[in-house]
Amino acid sequence: MYGLIEHTDEINRLLARYGVKFGIYKNNVFNERLFPFDTVPRIISKDEFEYLERGLKQRVKALNIFLKDIYTKKQIIKDKIIPEEFIYGAAGYMMECEGAVPPKDVFAHISGIDLVQGNDMRWYVLEDNLRVPSGASYPMIARELCRRASPDTFRANTVVDNRNYGDLLRNALDYVNTGGINVVLTPGRFNSAFFEHSYLAEKTGSVFAMPQDLFVEGNVLYYNEYSGKRKRVGAVYRRINDDFMDPMTFRADSLLGVPHIMDAYRAGNVALVNAPGNSVADDKGIYYYVPAMIKYYLGEEPILSNAPTYLPFYADDMKYVLDNIQKLVVKDVAESGGYGVVFGSELSLERVYELKKMIQKEPRRFIAQEVIQFNDLKVVENGAWTERKADLRAFVLMGEEPVVWKSGLTRFSKDANSFVVNSSQGGGFKDTWVLSR
């Protein structure tokens, strides 16, 4: 694999040319930034990946059942596994989705589960992304370029081919398709993952559509062809957030949405991938309950652990959080993408005091976690070896059964001391190799 290092600049140049970029909004200004690629892969052994695979499938299965339960019977609340206020007191639950059961009962078609490996070599789940998880295209295209740059590397190593992501995604779309074409719906080229949208449309053989190409009539979704002919749409891999998806149901000021698409979905005439309303499972407060959810719905012991998490909502946890805040990381449950994350150790005494007061005022709004001692990964920076914190976003695709993509997006932090690896916070990425033996 060291044969790849000398190609670092060349591969990064090609990635830039292909348009592997990340868009960031900062102070209302949109900037496109290259997503630096480090050629040294993260390597996961066959056995280790099989373990992750079992754990991830189990987790996504439980989350999918949870979503159906929350929007229909709400048994998990009635049985007091999850306190009601964690569902209804949060922004994640969407009444607009109440009673809506998607085709084949699949809510979480594509899940991006973020994991980290501690220096004890144990894996911990940090976050579940069940709304519109992005990033699969980066390792896909990086792998392709690496293969071209150094074919020998891949002859010498038994790396599982990751070029099947498009097929897995296509299967997930076909499985729920209600009769019609598959469409990848992008809000447009100013979205931070526009490159990925077009790339995945190509890889899945789907029609690449902008909102104005789609319309609903008689609760059926159609694609307007250039010739003016309409085609029925059976599944939409939509890369638009719920809030903006349908101005007739959600934000009325959305210009990115398709009017009445929610009515077509509720009528069972189209699959929306992922299902609207999944935000209730993404919620950082709900994350705390996922292990309990696995026991409750599947009757199994959770295979993967959460990072040790405290909910100030509970008196004991509140006391622990207030007493130990300087060694914990505190997260605002309403935020995502690495925003609203503070490390107690980095705060001035004054800010610690402010944060404690905020937690006491709105206990439901925060979770606190032990800082995991990451197993740092080696990266090459300006020709020299150094180490960075890194996470792994694993992708789980749901057809009749969940399938874990044998690769993933490994993101590393911008600075050696930073723990925040989200692409929107700077930093780079690596390929993830899963070995076949």
Partner 1 sequence: MAVLDFSYNMSIKFSMPVIKHCYTLRIIPIECENQHIEDIKVTVFPENELTYSADGFGNILVTDRIVTMHNEFTVDVTGTVTTGEHISAEADLNPVYKYPTHFTKCGAELDRMFDRIRIGISDNAVDTALKFTRAIRANIVYKTGSTSVVTTAEEALLNGAGVCQDYSHILLALLRKAEIPCRYVVGMMVGEGETHAWVEVYHQGNWYGVDPTNNRLADENYIIISRGRDFADCGINRGLLTGGGTQTQTVSLKVTKR
Q: Under rule CB under 8 A, which residues in 66-125 are in contact with partner 1?
A: 74, 77, 84-85, 87-89, 93, 95-100
Stretch binding partner 1 (CB under 8 A), from 46-54, 132-140, 184-192, 260-268: 260-268
Tokens encoding 419: 């723990």
Pick 100 or 235: Cβ nearer partner 1: 100
- Binding of residue 248 to partner 1 (CB under 8 A): yes
Min separation Cβ 109 and partner 1, Å: 21
Min separation Cβ 214 and partner 1, Å: 11
Min separation Cβ 245 and partner 1, Å: 13
Pick 87 or 328: Cβ nearer partner 1: 87
Q: Under rule CB under 8 A, which residues in 15-34 are in contact with partner 1?
A: none
- Binding of residue 272 to partner 1 (CB under 8 A): no
Q: Are 74 and 84 in contact (CB under 8 A)?
A: no
Pick 157 or 219: Cβ nearer partner 1: 219
Stretch binding partner 1 (CB under 8 A), from 31-39, 248-256, 290-298, 340-348: 248-256
Per-residue binder mask for partner 1 (CB under 8 A), 334-353, x = binder:
--------------------
Quick one: which of 128, 170, 436 has its CA closest to 282? 128
Q: Locate tokens 């992304």: which residue?
A: 129
Stretch binding partner 1 (CB under 8 A), from 130-138, 256-264, 301-309, 368-376: 256-264
Burial class (CB in 10 A: 0-12, 13-18, 19+), 34: middle
Q: Locate tokens 């690596």: which residue?
A: 430
Element (H, E) at 211: none
Stretch binding partner 1 (CB under 8 A), from 42-50, 235-243, 258-266, 301-309: 258-266
Tokens encoding 163: 């070029």
Pick 84 or 415: Cβ nearer partner 1: 84
Stretch binding partner 1 (CB under 8 A), from 52-60, 105-113, 259-267, 382-390: 259-267
Instruction: Looking at 177-268, list the stretches that DSSP marks H as alpha helix, in order from N- to C-terminal side.
Output: 194-204, 242-245, 261-266
Stretch binding partner 1 (CB under 8 A), from 33-41, 194-202, 209-217, 323-331: 209-217
Cis check: omega of the bond before 274, within 30 degrees of 0: yes
Stretch binding partner 1 (CB under 8 A), from 61-69, 182-190, 247-255, 405-413: 247-255
Task: Give the C-alpha distances (Å, rounded to integers) separating 163 from 22, 138, 245, 408.
Answer: 21, 11, 30, 11
- Binding of residue 228 to partner 1 (CB under 8 A): no
What number of chain residues touch partner 1 (CB under 8 A)? 28
Residue of the chain from 1, 267, 334, 435 that contacts partner 1 (CB under 8 A) = 267
Min separation Cβ 222 and partner 1, Å: 10
* CA dihedral sign, ordered 187, 191, 195, 197: negative
Alpha-carbon gap, residue 307 to 298, rounded angstroms: 21
The SS3 of residue 38 is strand
Residue of the chain from 164, 191, 219, 418 that contacts partner 1 (CB under 8 A) = 219
Q: Are 193 and 199 in contact (CB under 8 A)?
A: no
Pick 23 or 89: Cβ nearer partner 1: 89
Pick 254 or 309: Cβ nearer partner 1: 254
Pick 258 or 379: Cβ nearer partner 1: 258
- Please give the backbone phi and psi of residue 146, each rounded to the nearest 5 degrees, phi first: -65, -40
The SS3 of residue 430 is strand
Quick one: which of 220, 198, 199 has its CA closest to 210? 198
Q: Cα-Cα-Cα-Cα dihedral of 368, 371, 372, 373, to 10°?
A: 180
Q: Are 368 and 347 in contact (CB under 8 A)?
A: no
Alpha-carbon gap, residue 413 to 60, rounded angstroms: 26
Positions touching partner 1 (CB under 8 A) are: 74, 77, 84-85, 87-89, 93, 95-100, 215-219, 247-249, 252, 259-260, 263, 266-267
